[in-house]
Chains A and B, each alone.
Chain A
Amino acid sequence: LVYYRIRSRMDAEDLTQEIFMEMTRSLGNLRDSGKFKAWLYRISLNKVRDFKRKRKIVSFFAASPETQDDTSAVDLHNPLDQMVEKEFWQQFHGLIQKMSKKEREVFLLRYIDQLRIREISETLRSSESAVKTHLYRALQKFKGAPQFRHLFRGNAI
């Protein structure tokens, strides 16, 4: 969840630590244990939002670009895998940048984090119909990026 959104492994690890600390601190405030997943995602999204805000402020004053590391998830000795991975993330972020903030959020929660519509609406505290509307629009933008779809369709075995 965190890594797709901030694109830095080190920061993602620190942020995940913070999220779990926040979770243990606020666990007493959780009234309905059935909504734990949505509650945890809400904490995570808030933390990511705060982090992005801070990073934006820091980068504004430091006049340096946003930090992104090139840490690879695949075998470092296989240049082809590295290339595919790099290409994937470039296309991925290119795609989600075309979406509005809301569209991007619901799209990531639905298709990357695999939350249900109801869970997304609980996480974002918005109605299910609003979530669906954002999803339709996000899907239309996704369908409008055939070069991206070819990238992973070519890798499908």
Chain B
Amino acid sequence: MRQRGDHLTEEQICVCVVDQTDLAEDARDHLLTCPVCRDAKATLEFDLERLGEMARGFVPAPTKKIEIPLKKSRGFGFRLPAFAAAAAAVLFVVMFWGPGFFSDGSKQEGTNSLSQSDSDLYLVEDILDESPLPDYYLDIAVASYGYIDDEFLELIAPIDEPGDTV
């Protein structure tokens, strides 16, 4: 029988911190009425709680990501990320390369450049057609000999036509 003034032993305090139901009935009754023993129990509980808090708080943060390998499955759920990735890739191509491939902008630009080169070519052709040689070369060219006309050529090489000989 516990007498008044007899406090719980250190061992009993430890027991009641672990599991109060393991204490003998008279010790439990004493704990309910004795502020000294309740304080001792509360102090030990506080210390243990503080110990846990500090230990958890002083654990360094992880620097790398923990990767859990996924099992291969045939379900749609497994394919969903692949579909999403493919859709994202297509979207990326459309956004960055799309105008070049899908709009008429580049085609128009190509046509414009083609017609420009064509017109340049035609211009050169016209110039050559009108004056095939530069003036410098015209003196030695046949076209520059003005006296060689049709009459002269007829004299040099007459053309015998059937109607002339009677």
Q: Are B60 and A111 in contact (CB under 8 A)?
A: no
Is A88 within 8 A of B60, CB to CB?
A: no
Interface membership of chain B positions 56-93, coded 1 if the CB is closer than 8 angstroms to chain A and 0 otherwise: 11111111101111010000000000000000000000
Min CB distance A1 to B, Å, is: 9
Q: Which of A13, A111, A114, A156 has the most CB of B within 10 A?
A: A111
On whether A89 and B58 interact (CB within 8 A), knowing A20-B66, A139-B44, the answer reads: yes
B18 on the A face (CB < 8 A): yes
Q: Which of A24, A73, A74 contacts B69 (CB 8 A)?
A: A24
Given contacts A4-B59, A16-B62, A17-B66, contact A112 B22 (CB under 8 A): no
Q: Does A143 contact B (CB under 8 A)?
A: yes
Which of B46-54, B117-125, B135-143, B149-157 is near enough to bind chain A?
B46-54
Q: In the complex, which range does the number of interface residues on chain A fall in?
A: 20 to 34
Interface of B is mostly: helix
* Main DSSP-derived SS at the A contact region: helix
Report the minimum CB–CB distance from B13 to chain A (whole Å). Answer: 8
Q: Which of B54, B67, B68 contacts A152 (CB 8 A)?
A: B54
Given contacts A17-B66, A17-B67, A152-B51, is CB(A74)–CB(B58) below 8 Å? Answer: yes
Other-chain contact of B52, A20, A72, A112, A153 (Cβ < 8 Å) = A112
6 contacts between A and B (CB under 8 A): A9-B60, A111-B48, A132-B19, A152-B50, A155-B50, A156-B50
Rank and list the top 6 A-B pairs by shortest CB-CB distance, nearest first: A139-B14, A73-B60, A71-B60, A135-B18, A111-B48, A3-B59
Name B residues whose Cβ lies closer than 8 Å to a Cβ of A. Answer: 10-11, 14-15, 17-19, 22, 44, 46-52, 54-64, 66-69, 71
Chain A residues at the B interface, C-beta cutoff of 8 Å: 3-4, 9, 13, 16-17, 20-21, 23-24, 71-74, 85, 88-89, 92, 111-112, 114, 117, 132, 135-136, 139-140, 142-143, 149, 152-153, 155-156
Other A-B pairs beyond A21-B69, A111-B52, A117-B19, 19, CB < 8 Å: A3-B59, A13-B62, A13-B66, A16-B62, A17-B66, A24-B69, A73-B58, A73-B61, A88-B54, A88-B55, A92-B55, A111-B51, A112-B55, A132-B18, A132-B19, A132-B22, A140-B10, A152-B51, A155-B50
